[in-house]
Amino acid sequence: MYSYLFFAQSFYSPICMRHHMKIDKKLILAGVLITLMVAAGSNQIFLKSSSVAGQQQKSTNNNATINIRPNVQTDFNPNVTWPKISKTAYVDPFGVIIGDCEIGKLVLVAPFAVCRGDEGTPIYIGDYSNLQDGVILHSLETTTHGKNIDDRRYSAQGQLLKGNDTAFKTGFAIYVGSKVSLAHDVMVHGPAYIGNDTFVGMKSLIFDAKLGKRDAIGVSSTITNGVNIADDKFVPPGSIITTQAQADKLPARVGSSYEKLNGFVLHVNQELAKGYNAQTIQKLATEIEDEIEEVGEIQSGSPTGSLNATANSNITQVGTK
């Protein structure tokens, strides 16, 4: 924010001082906000794109960093990678994105949701999906000492990959498609694949499994042990699916109590992402306006920002305190 303010101050202030004019705060504010909007290319400005994210910032704790940060280098993951986050995504300040995580358009990452791409990588979250409160994404390592590990990555099309497959390099430890809802406290631990338009209910666990497109997973379900759920299936709440025979017997989503649930959930979370983004811009506009007000007072030596105030009167006020 301060870089934009410095630009506005350095550009406008000398002109105003030379001509004994008052600083036009509204003009400066409008210019700064237009610059921000053009630079962002959307209504999301405080989240970092892949390039901006490289500018790591420190919090008030000298040993802590912001909630979006790179992974550390290890023997199983020699690459230090910053998250790639769409400019239209919204990551709550209490959400955490670490390492090789890619977050798509209008994705909502709610408070205390975590995408931790520091072991099994990469992790992909498709456009218009949502990670609700307490969601955890993590994965088993996919390489060790430079060697690929079989069956630890999926292709974008859902194929489980062997280490010697040429597609392994572009595969994903976790792949979450577009328009997927991961409800509160869901854990997805890779290797895992979730197809487009799928809903995963609260407190469910997906580990070493593949979900198809348009599936609906009931609350508190567990799906693991290498099973593959076909498209358009319904997993009743509380299910424990550990064999392919169980998966093959699952009923259809259409006609179930969860048939249309994901559509409603997607709408709500996309609207929340838009709303929080707009709120962030409004907050930034207020902060910029306050800063411009302060700059005007400092330049003029007057609490009112009047350039007619004399330097001597300002010195006298300071000296009498």
What does DSSP assign to residue 52? G
Q: What is the pLDDT of residues 228-280, one digit of tens each?
A: 999 999 999 999 999 999 999 999 999 999 999 999 999 999 999 999 988 87
Instruction: Determine whether 141 is an active site residue.
Output: yes
Closest C-alpha among 119, 4, 98 to residue 56: 98
Q: Is the pTM of this model over 0.85?
A: no
- Domain shared by 142 and 22, yes or no: no
| Owning domain of residue 123 | 56-276
- Domain shared by 296 and 162, yes or no: no
- Domain shared by 77 and 161, yes or no: yes
Q: What is the pLDDT of residues 167-209, one digit of tens each?
A: 999 999 999 999 999 999 999 999 999 999 999 999 999 999 9
- Domain shared by 212 and 197, yes or no: yes
- Given the residues 141, 289, 293, 297, the one annotated as active site: 141
Q: Please tell me the total count of domains within the chain.
A: 2
- Given the residues 102, 119, 293, 297, the one annotated as active site: 119
Instruction: Determine whether 297 is an active site residue.
Output: no
CATH number (domain holding residue 73): 2.160.10.10
Residue 45: predicted pLDDT: 38
